[in-house]
Structure 1
Amino acid sequence: MVRHIKRRQFVALSGAAGIAGLAGCIGEDAVEDGDENGDDEGANPDEGGQTLSWHAGGTGGTYYPLSGDFKSIVEENTPHGLQVQSTGASVANVGSLAREEADFALIQNDIAYFAVNGTGLEEFEGNAMENIRGVATLYPETIHVITQADSGIETVEDLEGASVNTGDLGSGTQVNALQILSTAGLEEGDFDEQNSDFATAADQIRDGDVDAAFVVGGWPVGSIEELATTSDISLVEVSGDLRESIKGDAEWFADDTIPSGTYGGVDEDVETVSVQAMIATHEGLDEGIVEEVTEAIFENTDDITQKADFIDAESAQDGMPIDLHPGADAYFN
């Protein structure tokens, strides 16, 4: 069953119709950390190459440094340059891809499915972004629910009445957080929702400005690592009957475990769930370019510093929820 989430504070559709209208609304909050154009890392194409726009996520998560790895690999092994931009991540990124303002983007596999099929979220209903194509899946994106060690919050249900940062407005993190909270029986008004990027959420936990925060990313997430060096933190388990119900409501979630010692002071394994990070593009991008970029990344995985243990050509189609771009298909198949 797909649970349809109505997210308060999401960018309103205001009567927009069709892919272009929806994508324009979603894209309004796309840039969060770069200059006014979101141009964080300029491209360096060689003669005959193209400048390709690559939309990542917030600088406090995994998408942004991983995109920096991809930039280095692509620019060393193809004539093309990647212009990496920090954004509001998955939901913002599918809007950019649908408008063909981004050539590549990192997104969650659940958001990719929702966007292409026009389902899952109220904002996607009847507005399928059918031009988005898959390139490769990368690694599990783990749901972290962070709180201060002495908060007394031990279960997701304990977040009733709490102040909770559910992630950037319009991000995949916010989508996942509200899905999990809803399955736990917490709806709008049952908690005080705050929205920001991962780095700001960590600061809010440190300063006591929120009781808990959701962060979705491959462990270890840099902003949580940094927080754990200065504050005593706890990670709330998503386990047992709740975890089974979450997977029943949303089949893209999978069991996951954050190993003990991943973050300072967290000395036991933490059971939770995860989605899958993936690279996406759009059908208008040249097949040869997509094949060159895909080949460069997966033939040079030894040069990847983020989540390198998971990123491999053999597993790059596991959990792929949408049609492949012909350029990616040419490399993998």
Structure 2
Amino acid sequence: MKSLISAIALTVIAFQPGVAMSNEFVTFGASDSGGTYGVIAAAVSKVANVSDGDLNVSVEATVGGGRGNVRLLSKERLTFGLATVADAVNGYRGTGAFEDSKAENLRTVMLGPDLPFHLMVRADSDISSPADLKGKRLVSASAGNALTFVPGGLSGYGLDKDSYTITQLSGAEAVETFRDGRVDAYANFNFMPSANLSDLATSIDIRILGFDPEKLAELIKSVEMFNESTIPAGTYPGQTDDINVPGIAVGIFTTDSVSDDVVYALTKAVMESNAEMKEMHSMAGTLTKERQGRMLKAGRIIPPLHPGALRYYKEIGLN
């Protein structure tokens, strides 16, 4: 009987939310197409698995990118997942593509790279500002961009969806359509540098439209999925100046059912392995303490920050 009681007691302790479990198996949603999500997930998995032996992170090739990861997290079929802040916010609030599948259990762990607004025109175009896109033809490289992100960005200049026409194509097709002159502008929130856009800028002369500082500040204040982002000079051939635009951050998200210790362990492993992360991929290297400090200072963390992540940030003085 004493043995049975001891076994039950150990089982209860092992499954208490606040008690760390050695070498706990967790899943990490990337995407089905690999790409940048895939390399970030691989980098996170590598540093987490060799940290203190607390976690065994398995990268999952999920369907639907970040939006698919939010849906899987809401059903607790993933432990962690990559997604844009836009998809996470819409999931948490039950808006946009998530009107029928609200994910109130979603929690933020950390933010990483930005997807800056790439609004490109030909160098000889008479379009000099986003305001000049009224009545023009645009092309975008994903449904999320064409339906949500680009209209959201252009709303900063008073343009609604009826102010222009926008066509959604695949990444390569969108670039070719713009290169061939069949549209007036390429509009997409992209990781940078984009290989397709770098190739484009070597074949034709292009300009990237920036945002007026006041309009950018007002847009960020009014649309919570955006933050201030910069496409640094030299990112693309012929680009000589920094260009300030709205951006959408990509982050790591989890759910409120994941224990504080598991989230703390992953957060600590990533934050304290930045040099290794950066060696694996520049985008993985953006998951830094400084980045999280800016996130906390901005104060707009939606979905809410997971307590396990907050515990680590407080330990290193990021209040």
TM-score range (shorter-chain normalised) is 0.7 to 0.9
Paired with 1:68 and 1:225, the residues of 2 have a C-alpha distance of: 25
Paired with 1:318 and 1:264, the residues of 2 have a C-alpha distance of: 30
Q: Secondary structure at the match of 2:237?
A: coil
Contact residue 32 and residue 65 of structure 2 kept, 8 A? yes
Contact residue 31 and residue 63 of structure 2 kept, 8 A? yes
Q: Which amino acid aligns with 1:97?
A: L
Q: TM-score, normalised by structure 1?
A: 0.70
Question: Measured at CA, do residues 65 and 147 of structure 1 come closer, stay the same or move farther in structure 2, by a change above 3 Å?
Answer: farther
Aligned residue-pair number: 283
- Residue 82, structure 1, aligned to residue 58, structure 2: yes
Bigger Rg, structure 1 or 2: 2
Contact residue 234 and residue 266 of structure 1 kept, 8 A? yes
The correspondence for 1:327, drawn from 297, 308, 313, is 308
Contact residue 136 and residue 279 of structure 1 kept, 8 A? yes
Query: Which shows bigger deviation, 151-160 or 196-205?
Result: 196-205
Q: Once the 2 structures are TM-superposed, how far is the Cα of residue 122 of structure 1 from its aligned partner?
A: 4.7
Q: Which amino acid aligns with 1:269?
A: D
Partner residue, 1:25: none
Counterpart mapping for 1:61-140 below 5 A: 62-77=36-51, 78=53, 80-85=56-61, 88-118=64-94, 121-124=95-98, 128-140=102-114
Counterpart mapping for 1:135-150 below 5 A: 135-150=109-124
Q: Which amino acid aligns with 2:47?
A: I
Counterpart mapping for 1:210-289 below 5 A: 210-251=183-224, 253-289=226-262
Paired with 2:155 and 2:123, the residues of 1 have a C-alpha distance of: 24
Q: Once the 2 structures are TM-superposed, how far is the Cα of residue 145 of structure 1 from its aligned partner?
A: 1.0
Contact residue 134 and residue 324 of structure 1 kept, 8 A? yes
Q: Once the 2 structures are TM-superposed, how far is the Cα of residue 204 of structure 1 from its aligned partner?
A: 3.3
Partner residue, 1:6: none
Paired with 1:324 and 1:315, the residues of 2 have a C-alpha distance of: 14
Q: Which amino acid aligns with 1:155?
A: S
Paired with 1:51 and 1:322, the residues of 2 have a C-alpha distance of: 21
Question: Measured at CA, do residues 204 and 314 of structure 1 come closer, stay the same or move farther in structure 2, by a change above 3 Å?
Answer: same
Contact residue 167 and residue 174 of structure 1 kept, 8 A? no
Paired with 1:267 and 1:57, the residues of 2 have a C-alpha distance of: 36
The structure whose residues are more often helix, as a share, is 2
Q: Secondary structure at the match of 1:94?
A: helix
Q: TM-score, normalised by structure 2?
A: 0.73
After superposition, the CA RMSD in angstroms is 3.3
* C-alpha distance after superposition, 1:238-295 (max 9, x if no partner): 2255424423432553433322211111122323222333211122335443333222
Contact residue 234 and residue 240 of structure 2 kept, 8 A? yes
Paired with 2:220 and 2:290, the residues of 1 have a C-alpha distance of: 25
Partner residue, 1:34: none
- Residue 187, structure 1, aligned to residue 160, structure 2: yes
Contact residue 151 and residue 161 of structure 2 kept, 8 A? no
Where does the alignment leave 5 or more consecutive residues of structure 2 unmatched?
A: 1-21, 296-300, 315-319
Where does the alignment leave 5 or more consecutive residues of structure 1 unmatched?
A: 1-46
Contact residue 56 and residue 105 of structure 1 kept, 8 A? no
